[in-house]
Amino acid sequence: MAEELPVHFMSQEIAALKNIAVIESGYDEGADLLRKYKNKLGLKISNISFAKQIIQQPMQERWDWLETLMLEKLDPAITSIEKYTELSDILEELRKWQPNMN
């Protein structure tokens, strides 16, 4: 995930909090995916806090962190295959935002 995506996500949330208009961007879809991922995981933190947690991860480790977060939050005994698949699909969509780190 490019550095710009979580920063854009955070800037959208700050703008909404401060009642500032947000200019459409090519990162809007990715920010929406991050919001959706957080909500589907059932995280009880603000979107700004979630964005901050992502930004605090080293860029090369963000994918592992997002996937680990999913595995930690989903209880295999009660999580349906449909929910796991849905979250995996969102994560796969987010991977399209991953920069080439070569």
Tokens of 32: 């929406």
Label residue 22 left, alpha or beta by phi (over 0 means left) and psi (-120 to 50 means alpha): beta
Q: Give the pLDDT score at 100.
A: 63
Q: Give the pLDDT score at 79.
A: 84
Per-residue pLDDT of the chain (102 residues; tens, 9 = 90+): 557 899 999 999 999 999 999 889 999 999 999 999 999 999 999 999 999 999 999 988 988 899 999 999 888 778 889 999 999 999 999 988 876 654
Query: Is 94 within 8 Å of 33 (Cβ atoms)?
Result: yes
What is the C-alpha to C-alpha distance for residues 101 and 16, in angstroms, rounded to an integer?
32
Q: Give the pLDDT score at 97.
A: 83
